[in-house]
Amino acid sequence: MPVSPLTALVTCDIMDQHPTLPSCDTQFRLFGRKRAIAGQIRTVKVFEDNTFIRQVLSEPGQGGVLVVDAAASLHCAVVGDMIAKLAQDNGWSGIIVYGAIRDSEQIDAMDFCVKALGTNPRKSGKNSLGLIDVPVTFGNVRFVPGQYLYSDADGIVVSEQALVL
């Protein structure tokens, strides 16, 4: 059986080989059975509204990673199990949420990866407020659409080009 390149993905090894790459200082909680992800970055910038998150994840993901800058709000969740399932079904590698999610136990049972600051059972608004595919910054890293993200239990690394793993 062939081994997936993500099986061997270790952000520590990436940083050892490429010590000048940015690594995210923000500490995230890891949800889902899939523990390592890699893919091209897409971004959404929102505040307590998940309309544009659903919109982007409804598109074919082609193995990409959606980075959501939810302004570190833990007041409500911008991703839940239905949005995570939508992303999984559309071929996304995973979702990084600089904010809160909900349905964490259901997401933990999925063969998918979501990283978030925490959880809150409260739903987000649906006001179509936010921005799609703009650079976002948190944890001393600038996440730029089209760049590449590598993530596992130890952290998140970003590169302008795809890395040979």
| Share of the chain residues as helix, strand and coil, in percent rounded to the nearest 5 | 20, 35, 45
∠ CA(4), CA(11), CA(151), 5° rounding?
Answer: 70
Q: Residues annotated as binding site?
A: 80-83, 102-103
Q: Residues annotated as binding site for Mg(2+)?
A: 103
Alpha carbon 136 to chain centroid, angstroms: 12
Tell me how far apart the alpha carbons of residues 109 and 123 are, in angstroms, rounded to a whole number: 20
For residue 123, the 8-state DSSP code is B
Q: Is 139 exposed, middle or buried (0-12, 13-18, 19+ CB in 10 A)?
A: middle
Provide the β-strand partners of residue 141: 138
Q: Residues annotated as binding site for substrate?
A: 80-83, 102
Alpha helices in the chain (DSSP H): 11-17, 51-57, 81-89, 104-108
For 5, residues 6+ apart whose C-beta sits below 8 A from its C-beta are 38, 165
